[in-house]
A = this chain, B = another copy of it.
Amino acid sequence: MKRTAYLSDLEPYLDQTVTVQGWVARRRDLGKLIFIDLRDRSGLLQVQVEPGSPAFAEADRMRGEYVAEFTGTLRLRPESQRKEGLGAYELIADSAQLLSAAVTPPFELSKGEDVSEDIRLKYRYLDLRRPEMFQKLLIRSQVSAAITAFLTAEGFINVETPMLTRSTPEGARDFLVPSRLSPGEFYALPQSPQLFKQLLMIAGVDRYFQLARCFRDEDLRADRQPDFTQLDIEMSFVNQEDILDLNERLLRHVFKTALDVDLPSPFPRLTYQQAMDTYGSDKPDLRFGLPFVDVTDLFAGGEFAAFAKAACVKVLATGELTRKQIDELERVAKQNGAGGLAWVRRDGEGLSGGISKFVGKVSGELLSRTGVEQGGTLLFAAGEWKKAVTALGAVRTALRDLLHLASAGFETVWVTDFPQLEYDEDNQRWTYMHHPFTAPHPEDLALFGTQRQGEIRAQAYDLVLNGFEVGGGSVRIHDPEVQRQMFGAIGFSEEEAHAQFGFFLDALASGTPPHGGVAWGFDRLIMVMSGASSIREVIAFPKNNKGSDLMAQAPSSVNAAQLAELGVAVLE
């Protein structure tokens, strides 16, 4: 038989004969009646089988997670039992068919949230039967379709770039693939399509996008996956404003289509400098306030030695905190490079507790600058600018979680004007902050090779959503001369640059249009959109944090003949 419709689409068939198919979510026997909650991806419907029904014998064989079909009359449940949505209906079965039996599930699906993640991953095909898991797959698919439709309508061409490509020593670790046809040589799985998308611009494709699988062999503790998905976009003959505008319109379309949520137009913007200075983070969560107030001047040269010589003193005003909460926040501050966490409490027209005895002289000014409420707390960080704001930024985020400050909904912000270069203290050298093809601001070009090259601003931007970096990109260098300056600034000789990026530099000299683009962390975006707690929740078959697929049991050992053919051996 054919089903009449998905369960959630049955309402037009009230009082008619319908056929339904799905899984037995629950079976109850009440007196002589059998009640079966039938589940499909759209919902749950109660099926009632009466003892006299021809369906009874077949229904009586059914157990949890069996696949079943019922035909019968759809009717409203008695008024007292009527619930929302499908819960208002029931099916009185005239016939039943067991389509497929099931072994007893290793965990109860309705209690899936409480089951260890290892078990859920091992039996992922059961875990995905839970409606909340299906919902995440559905949102992911809707977002991907909305992106494709929007970008296609805007003239973007979906181009698939290579999955077996060349290993480059820079950046994260590559996954390698031995080549059977060229023994001793290896492909690398792509960390991103960066070079290929720029080559497509050089090729005149003009507007490109791809939902691209990318691979990084990194440590996986921080909610990462060895392979992940990136929405990759690149455009020619554009400037930064054009790219930001396109991204805003795309993200608004995506939110409207998949969640019926209106994002603002335009998105707020902060420069990197502002974001760090005000929130201590280059991905500030704007679902709550708590901006930093600069009070360096209040303490400069003053009596409080810890602050007097600090290049930067920042303060953040929050509500009343317990001693225990302050201790917890101090722990966070210390983890993030601070020596401690100075604090005071507003007490009437003055300040008490913490470092209050050192701030008497400036307390009036502190109260007026911060506007701290009665009983509220001021939290301080002091020191070198970046260290101070970073530590206080971590405290701010911890406050969000501690006090549940984040509002419901979604807050976007562009962070722009990232530094072009950063100094790598470990290796005592300058390196790029985004990637070596990021274009600097034209007015900062003269700083290359000077003492001040750390001040060069890049035409680079991140898209931040609820405190997560969900996208990032840049205008690219299209002038080979600027590219040479950039390689020079990070200490690449012409030979090194050519050894690593030779074919790309050749391409760059072949008529490169001005271009730029963006990459969205697709898994992370879906995670935020669907309210999931981890990217593993929005990936159908994820790896655990050891890089293992617990269901398929990958990776695994392979037979010697396979390896011999590839010209490689396992080291003992």
Q: Residues on A close to B: CB < 8 A?
A: 2-3, 6, 21-23, 39-41, 65-67, 99-103, 105, 123-129, 134, 137-138, 140-142, 144-145, 148-149, 152, 155-167, 169, 173-189, 195-196, 199-200, 202-206, 213, 215, 217, 220, 226-227, 229, 237, 478-479, 503, 506-507, 509-514, 539-541, 543, 546-549, 551-559, 562-571
In the complex, besides A141-B157, A178-B568, 11 extra interface pairs with C-beta distance below 8 angstroms are A39-B204, A123-B510, A128-B205, A142-B152, A145-B148, A145-B158, A159-B540, A161-B540, A183-B571, A195-B552, A503-B552
Interchain nearest-CB distance for A185 vs B (Å)? 4
Q: With A23-B511, A166-B556 known to touch, is A176 a contact of B173 (CB < 8 Å)? A: no
Q: Is the CB–CB distance between A65 and B187 below 8 Å?
A: no
Interchain nearest-CB distance for A67 vs B (Å)? 5
Q: Is the CB–CB distance between A556 and B185 below 8 Å?
A: yes
> In whole angstroms, how far apart are the Cα atoms of A351 and B557 in the complex?
66
Q: Is the CB–CB distance between A558 and B167 below 8 Å?
A: yes
> In whole angstroms, how far apart are the Cα atoms of A23 and B511 in the complex?
8
Q: With A23-B204, A67-B513, A568-B569 known to touch, is A167 a contact of B129 (CB < 8 Å)? A: no
* Interfacial chain B residues near A157, Cβ < 8 Å: 137-138, 141
* Interfacial chain B residues near A564, Cβ < 8 Å: 571
> In whole angstroms, how far apart are the Cα atoms of A565 and B511 in the complex?
40
A549 CB contact (under 8 Å) in B65, B123, B165, B566: B165
A237 CB contact (under 8 Å) in B3, B548, B553: B3
What are the 10 closest A-B residue pairs judged by CB atoms, nearest first?
A: A102-B511, A128-B203, A166-B554, A185-B555, A179-B555, A145-B152, A65-B511, A141-B158, A141-B157, A166-B552
Q: With A180-B173, A512-B67, A513-B21 known to touch, is A503 a contact of B551 (CB < 8 Å)? A: yes
How many copies of the shown chain assemble into the complex?
2
Which of A3, A159, A187, A564 has the largest number of chain B CB atoms within 10 A? A187
> In whole angstroms, how far apart are the Cα atoms of A499 and B483 in the complex?
54
* Interfacial chain B residues near A148, Cβ < 8 Å: 144-145, 148-149
Interchain nearest-CB distance for A525 vs B (Å)? 14
> In whole angstroms, how far apart are the Cα atoms of A3 and B67 in the complex?
59
Q: With A102-B510, A161-B540, A177-B177 known to touch, is A166 a contact of B213 (CB < 8 Å)? A: no
> In whole angstroms, how far apart are the Cα atoms of A55 and B75 in the complex?
78
* Interfacial chain B residues near A181, Cβ < 8 Å: 220, 546-547
Can you show 21 pairs from A to B with CB atoms below 8 A apart? Answer: A99-B514, A101-B509, A102-B509, A128-B200, A134-B204, A138-B157, A145-B158, A160-B540, A162-B541, A163-B213, A167-B554, A173-B562, A176-B562, A177-B189, A181-B546, A182-B546, A182-B548, A183-B571, A185-B556, A199-B551, A503-B552
> In whole angstroms, how far apart are the Cα atoms of A304 and B262 in the complex?
83
Interchain nearest-CB distance for A99 vs B (Å)? 6
Q: With A101-B511, A203-B124 known to touch, is A21 a contact of B163 (CB < 8 Å)? A: no
